């Protein structure tokens, strides 16, 4: 199994930082306890050893809160303030505990442990932050991942694509007829009239025979076939209104409506306005 050198280095650095942090805090803590014994806590060793915790634990709490804020991607100024107050007070009291007539090197010796404790504990929090955040591992130099070869095929789009041939719709030799609009037929007057001698409606326009289609060559033109079919159909019967029936029978319109109410005369249909329309044969069949 191949080991990652970056992980091994991180573990080694973490162990060194833990040892440095413990030693620096112990030296700073012990010196502050001696300062407490010499100033107001003489003979109270338990309380004197508990007193430095009121300063050094501010550093620990502030560093932990800054680590929490870093993991959430924000800045906690309260945590920074706790760390600054705790570390500054620890350094100041360690230096002040030496006395006013000491050598300069004595002040340096007293200031090193709290300063080292602050820096070492901060480095330890940074290592923990990197481990929790899951930073990318360092790739050793010289290891290059192979790149897959990509083949690009060029397509020549300059030449237009050939269009498929259109199918032959009209056979060769066929005669094309012009397309013209169909004229609207004029409304025919009613072909029925009242015969006073016979006493009924008669048809003045006898049925006409449909003309035979003219044949030109082997094909019959479509227009002539359509005209022949239209002529062969019987003409629609013009229906009579209530006024027409009353006029034809020589009665009032109310009489015609009474015939409808008594089922003597049945209407053929109603127009769009709801008016009654009658078939001429039904009117002629009235007694």
If we measure between CA atoms, which residue out of 27, 29, 24 comes closest to residue 116? 24
Grouping H, G, I as helix, E, B as strand and the rest as coil, residue 228 is helix
Residues 282 and 268: beta-carbon distance below 8 Å: yes
> Rounded distance, CA 89 to CA 20, Å?
20
Cβ neighbourhood burial of 82 (10 Å; 0-12, 13-18, 19+): buried
At 137, the pLDDT band (50, 70, 90 cuts) reads very low
Task: Map tokens 């502030």 to a residue.
Answer: 62
Where do the domains of the chain lie?
Answer: 5-133, 193-202+236-287
Residues 121 and 59: beta-carbon distance below 8 Å: yes
User: Taking residues 239-256, what's their average pLDDT?
Assistant: 86
User: Taking residues 227-252, what's their average pLDDT?
Assistant: 75
Q: What's residue 208's pLDDT?
A: 61
What are the structure tokens assigned to 255, written together?
């009489």
Please tell me which residue, 191 or 48, carries the higher pLDDT value: 48
Compute how many other C-beta atoms are within 10 angstroms of the C-beta atom of residue 23: 14
Least trusted range by pLDDT, from 110-119, 120-129, 158-167, 271-280:
158-167
- Examine the pLDDT at 153 and tell me if it is beyond 50: yes
Q: What's residue 135's pLDDT?
A: 52
Grouping H, G, I as helix, E, B as strand and the rest as coil, residue 129 is helix
Least trusted range by pLDDT, from 20-29, 227-236, 251-260:
227-236
Please tell me which residue, 128 or 153, carries the higher pLDDT value: 128
HSE-up of residue 257 (Cα within 13 Å, Cβ side): 5
Q: What's residue 217's pLDDT?
A: 47
**Fold of the 193-202+236-287 domain:** Multidrug-efflux Transporter Regulator; Chain: A; Domain 2 (1.10.1660)
């Amino acid at each position: 199994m191949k080991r990652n050198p970056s992980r091994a280095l991180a573990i080694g650095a973490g162990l060194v930082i833990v040892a440095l942090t413990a030693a620096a805090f112990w030296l700073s803590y012990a010196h502050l306890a001696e300062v407490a014994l010499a100033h107001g806590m003489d003979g109270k060793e338990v309380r004197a050893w508990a007193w430095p915790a009121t300063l050094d634990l501010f550093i620990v709490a502030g560093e932990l809160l800054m680590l929490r804020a870093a993991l959430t991607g924000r800045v906690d100024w309260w945590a920074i303030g706790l760390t600054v107050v705790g570390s500054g007070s620890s350094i100041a009291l360690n230096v002040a505990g030496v006395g006013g007539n000491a050598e300069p090197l004595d002040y340096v010796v007293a200031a090193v442990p709290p300063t080292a404790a602050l820096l070492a504990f901060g480095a330890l929090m940074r290592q923990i932050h990197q481990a929790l955040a899951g930073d990318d591992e360092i790739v050793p130099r010289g290891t290059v991942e192979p790149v897959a070869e990509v083949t690009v095929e060029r397509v020549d789009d300059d030449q237009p694509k050939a269009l498929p041939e259109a199918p032959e719709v009209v056979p060769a030799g066929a005669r094309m007829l012009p397309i013209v609009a169909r004229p609207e037929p004029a409304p025919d007057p009613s072909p029925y009239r009242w015969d006073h001698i016979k006493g009924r409606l008669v048809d003045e326009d006898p049925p006409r025979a449909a003309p035979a289609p003219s044949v030109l060559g082997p094909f019959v033109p479509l227009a002539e076939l359509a005209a022949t079919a239209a002529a062969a159909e019987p003409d629609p019967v013009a229906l009579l209104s209530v006024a027409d029936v009353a006029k034809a029978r020589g009665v009032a319109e109310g009489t015609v409506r009474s015939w409808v109410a008594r089922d003597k005369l049945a209407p053929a249909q109603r127009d769009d306005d709801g008016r009654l329309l009658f078939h001429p044969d039904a009117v002629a069949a009235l007694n």
